[in-house]
Chain A
Amino acid sequence: MAETLQMEGLGFEVPVGSIDGELKKLWEADEASTNASLMNFAVYSEDPGSLVRNSGIVREFTEEHACRAILIAMDREAGEADIHAWITAHCHLAHGRKSVCCEQIAFLLRGTAAGRMRNTVFAHLASDLPLVFWWQGELTDLFEESLYRLIDRFVFDSADWEDPAEGFARIREAAEDVQHRIVVQDLSWTRSNHFRLAVAALFDDLVAQRAIPEIEEVRIVAQPGHRTAALLMLAWLATQAQWRPGLELGLAAERAEGCDECHLFESRGGKSVTARIDWDAEGAPLGLLEIGAPDLMLRISREPGDTHLVHRLERAGHVLEQCGPADPDESAELVGSQLSRGGRNSLFRKVWPAFFDLLGAG
Chain B
Amino acid sequence: MSNPFRDELVARARPETCTVVIFGATGDLTHRKLIPALYNLAVDGDLPAGVQILGFARRDWTDDYFRESLGKVNREVSRTGHDDAVWGPFAESIHYHQSEFQDTGGYQRLAERLEEIDRRRGGAGNRLFYLASAPEFFDDIMQHLRDAGLNEEREGCWSRVIVEKPFGTDLPSAQHLNQVVNATFEESDTYRIDHYLGKETAQNIMVLRFANSIFEPIWNSRYIDSVQITCAEHFGMEGGRGGYYDKAGAMRDMVQNHLLQLLSLVAMEPPTDLSADGVRDEKVKVLRSLRRWDTPEEIAANVIRAQYEAGHVNGKPVVGYREEDRVDPESMTEAYVALRVLVDTWRWSGVPFYVRMGKRLPKKATEISIHFKDAPDVLFNALPGGVPGGNVLVIRIQPDEGISLRITSKLPGTSLRMEPVKMDFHYASSFGKSSPEAYERLLLDAMAGDATLFARRDEVEEAWRFVDHIEHAWHASGTPPPMASYVAGSWGPKEAEDMLAATGNDWRRL
Contacts and interface: CB of A to CB of B under 8 A. Distances in A.
B217 interface: no
A209 B10 CA distance: 19
B89 A323 contact: yes
A170 B428 CA distance: 38
Interface in B1-52: 1-11, 16-17, 42-45, 47-50
A325 interface: yes
Contacts of B86: 308, 323-324
Interface string A180-206: 000000000000001011111111111
B426 interface: yes
A209 B9 contact: no
Given A212-B4, A323-B85, A347-B8, A204 B42 contact: no
Contact of A350 (B8, B83, B428): B8
Contacts of B5: 196, 199-200, 203, 237, 240-241
Nearest to B6: A200
A201 B45 CA distance: 9
Interface residues of A, number: 52
A207 B16 CA distance: 14
Interface stretch (B145-153, B158-166, B339-347, B429-437): B429-437
B11 A209 contact: no
A204 B3 contact: yes
Interface in A340-357: 340, 343, 346-347, 350
Contacts, number: 119
B45 A36 contact: no
A65 interface: yes
Contacts of A241: 4-5
Interface string A93-105: 0110110100000
A206 B429 contact: no
Nearest to A348: B8
B507 interface: no
A94 B426 CA distance: 10
Interface string B45-61: 10111100000000000
A197 B3 CA distance: 12
A203 B48 CA distance: 9
B18 to A, nearest CB: 10
Contact of B49 (A212, A237, A311, A343): A311
A281 interface: no
A120 interface: no
Interface string A28-65: 00000010111000000000000000000000001111
A320 interface: yes
Contacts of A323: 42, 85-86, 88-90
A203 B7 CA distance: 12
Nearest to A325: B45
Contact of B429 (A94, A194, A204, A324): A94
Interface in A303-362: 308, 311, 313, 315-316, 318, 320-325, 340, 343, 346-347, 350
Given A196-B9, A347-B8, A205 B49 contact: yes
Contacts of A112: none
Interface in B94-139: 120-123, 125
Interface string B413-450: 00000000000001011111100000000000000000
A63 B42 contact: no
Given A64-B432, A318-B120, A324 B42 contact: yes
B1 A206 contact: yes
Contacts of B17: 204-205
Select the residue from A63, A311, A325 with max chain B CB neighbours within 10 A: A325
Contacts of A98: 429
Contacts of B2: 209
A94 B428 CA distance: 6
Contacts of B9: 196-197, 200, 347
A100 B88 CA distance: 37
A320 B50 CA distance: 7
A324 B6 contact: no
B473 to A, nearest CB: 43
A292 to B, nearest CB: 15
Given A209-B1, A324-B42, 14 more contacts: A38-B431, A64-B432, A94-B426, A198-B45, A201-B45, A202-B49, A204-B50, A205-B17, A206-B122, A206-B125, A308-B86, A311-B49, A321-B89, A340-B433
24 contacts: A62-B432, A64-B432, A65-B432, A94-B426, A196-B5, A197-B45, A200-B5, A200-B6, A203-B5, A204-B3, A205-B49, A205-B50, A206-B123, A206-B125, A207-B122, A209-B2, A241-B4, A241-B5, A242-B4, A313-B49, A318-B121, A322-B90, A323-B90, A324-B42
The 7 A-B residue pairs whose C-beta atoms are closest, nearest first, are: A64-B432, A207-B122, A201-B49, A322-B89, A200-B5, A324-B45, A36-B429
